[in-house]
């Protein structure tokens, strides 16, 4: 069993208080759990996490690992929030903050947010999370230091501010401005100096305790205990979490393998032929697995014939050998006018099967394509190109405050790719399907982060995926 703990400012001394055998990780962000080598029975504890300027950990990511038998425990900060949202699926929540989120006592993400210094400065806090303010003022009221009205007035005043501006000093100053009795505000200030409650730390220690012990009855379900539908987004996040290291300017830089695949899909001159062969092979393998057909070799004609047979098995179209199968008008949505005029029925059906192939509704076969591309020598070069493109985007964003690939002109990108692929602009939809991309929209999305780099470094993306071509 492996244990992981995502922790930061809630428990800045984690290295000294967390028992050995737990891998300590920085605050969690989107994609982080998908990058872990998790197996059924492993434990993931979540305390702190990023948001706002970095994608927060997504619910679907946690559901994915829960569905695969990983125990997930949350508390104190974003861990408490996610546990309150996902406890019905088996995520364990511990501590008062989790209970308050679960019961609707608090409901805002900002309740646990704070500004703090980076890890190398010990996560020194620059603000106070609202959950700690609530706990401290509740303790002050219980001790007779203030009444309910003073407590609620101070909390409401601080709640109206951005989380970055929430400090006890600011709260005391606001209390005086609001006309609360000076003696009451002064008494609260004195109480805070001596007895301020760090509820996040208390709950974080409970998370540590929990991950070190066996799961309670309410723990994560066994593998397959609930059905998780893999969306297009989860599929993409999973693949993006697979990363390789590239040595650039004396440093090792992580880059997504999926970004390298996009480089090949967009710029390898022979990628369409590479993808066609493998798409047909995947269809034939499905036929062998599901229909009990015999295996075939790599003969291109045999692959086409067997793939066409599987389309018949699946009821996609009539047998082209029969009279009704010779009607090809329906194929006009998947082929060009030139192909309809010049290709026989078998070749038209092959175009259809390759261009329409999906591993699930709406999901193009990036995963099997990536598995094959990794075996090619040029994949390393594509990874370097993807890394250099990422670095260029970062440099442009630092130089020009408003630069973002999402704002690049779609028409210009489309025209440039059409010229590179030697197809008309209105033929980009089919050309994208031919390379395993999800139509024109998927093509443009894939091209945006790579366009500027590729346009001004054409020799670095002048690629062939097949060494023999």
Query: pLDDT digit string (tens) for 225-267?
Result: 678 888 889 999 999 888 888 877 777 888 899 999 999 999 9
pLDDT, tens digit, for every residue of 193-202? 999 999 999 9
CA 265/CA 379 separation, integer angstroms: 11
pLDDT < 70 positions in the chain: 216-225, 467-469
The answer to whether 161 and 170 have CB atoms below 8 angstroms apart is yes
Which two tokens mark 412?
């210009």
The answer to whether 46 and 73 have CB atoms below 8 angstroms apart is yes
Q: State residue 177 phi and psi, 5-degree precision.
A: -65, -30
Residue 444: the pLDDT is: 96
- Residue written as token pair 């619910």: 59
CA 374/CA 203 separation, integer angstroms: 44
CA 398/CA 6 separation, integer angstroms: 29
What radius of gyration, in Å, describes the C-alpha atoms of the chain?
28
Which whole-number Å values give the CA distances from 153 to 167, 186, 440, in the listed order?
15, 15, 55
The answer to whether 331 and 376 have CB atoms below 8 angstroms apart is no
CA 44/CA 27 separation, integer angstroms: 12
CA 75, 77, 82, 88 torsion-angle sign: positive
CA 399/CA 411 separation, integer angstroms: 24
What pTM does this model have?
Answer: 0.84
- Exposed / middle / buried, residue 228 (Cβ in 10 Å: 0-12, 13-18, 19+): middle
Sequence-distant (6+) residues with CB within 8 A of 29 are 49, 50, 54, 55, 56, 57
Using alpha carbons only, what angle is made at residue 267 by residues 264 and 272, rounded to the nearest 5 degrees? 70
CA 317/CA 313 separation, integer angstroms: 9
- The torsion region of residue 250 among left (phi > 0), alpha (psi -120 to 50) and beta comes to left
Residue 469: the pLDDT is: 40
Sequence-distant (6+) residues with CB within 8 A of 49 are 6, 27, 28, 29, 56, 57, 77, 78, 79
């Amino acid at each position: 069993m492996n244990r992981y703990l995502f922790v930061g400012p809630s428990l800045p001394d984690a290295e000294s208080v967390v028992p050995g055998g737990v891998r300590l990780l920085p605050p969690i962000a989107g994609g982080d759990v998908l990058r872990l080598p998790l197996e059924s029975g492993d434990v993931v504890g979540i305390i702190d996490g990023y948001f706002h300027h970095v994608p927060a950990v997504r619910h679907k990511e946690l559901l994915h690992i829960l569905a695969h038998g990983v125990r997930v425990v949350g508390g104190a900060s974003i861990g408490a929030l996610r546990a309150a949202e996902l406890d019905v699926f088996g995520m364990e929540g511990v501590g008062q903050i989790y209970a308050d989120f679960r019961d609707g006592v608090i409901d805002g993400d900002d309740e646990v947010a704070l500004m703090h210094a980076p890890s190398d400065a010990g996560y020194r806090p620059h603000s106070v999370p609202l959950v700690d303010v609530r706990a401290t003022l509740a303790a002050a009221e219980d001790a007779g230091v203030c009444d309910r009205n003073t407590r609620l007035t101070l909390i409401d005043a601080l709640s109206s501010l951005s989380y970055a501006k929430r400090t006890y000093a600011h709260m005391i100053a606001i209390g005086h401005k609001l006309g609360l009795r000076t003696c009451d505000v002064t008494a609260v200030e004195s109480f805070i100096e001596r007895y301020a409650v760090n509820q996040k730390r208390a709950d974080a220690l409970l998370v540590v305790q929990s991950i070190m012990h066996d799961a309670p009855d309410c723990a994560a379900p066994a593998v397959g205990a609930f059905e998780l539908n893999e969306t297009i987004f989860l599929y993409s996040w999973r693949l993006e979490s697979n990363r390789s290291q590239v040595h650039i300017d004396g440093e090792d830089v992580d880059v997504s393998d999926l970004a390298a695949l996009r480089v090949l899909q967009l710029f390898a001159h022979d990628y369409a032929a590479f993808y066609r062969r493998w798409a047909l092979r995947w269809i034939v393998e499905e036929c062998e697995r599901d229909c009990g057909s015999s295996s075939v070799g790599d003969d291109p004609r045999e692959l086409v014939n067997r793939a066409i047979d599987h389309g018949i098995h699946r009821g996609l179209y009539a047998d082209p050998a029969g009279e009704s199968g010779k009607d090809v008008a329906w194929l006009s949505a998947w082929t060009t006018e030139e192909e309809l005029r010049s290709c026989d029925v078998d070749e038209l059906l092959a175009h259809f099967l390759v261009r329409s192939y999906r591993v699930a509704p709406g999901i193009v076969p990036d995963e099997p394509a990536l598995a094959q591309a990794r075996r090619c020598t040029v994949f390393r070069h594509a990874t370097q190109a993807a890394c250099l493109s990422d670095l260029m985007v970062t440099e442009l964003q630092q130089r020009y405050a408003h630069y973002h690939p999402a704002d690049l002109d779609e028409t210009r990108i489309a025209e440039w790719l059409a010229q590179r692929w030697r197809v008309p602009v209105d033929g980009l939809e089919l050309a994208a399907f031919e390379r395993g991309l999800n139509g024109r929209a998927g093509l443009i999305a894939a091209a945006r982060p790579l366009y500027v780099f590729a346009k001004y470094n054409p020799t670095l993306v002048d690629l062939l995926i097949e060494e023999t071509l």
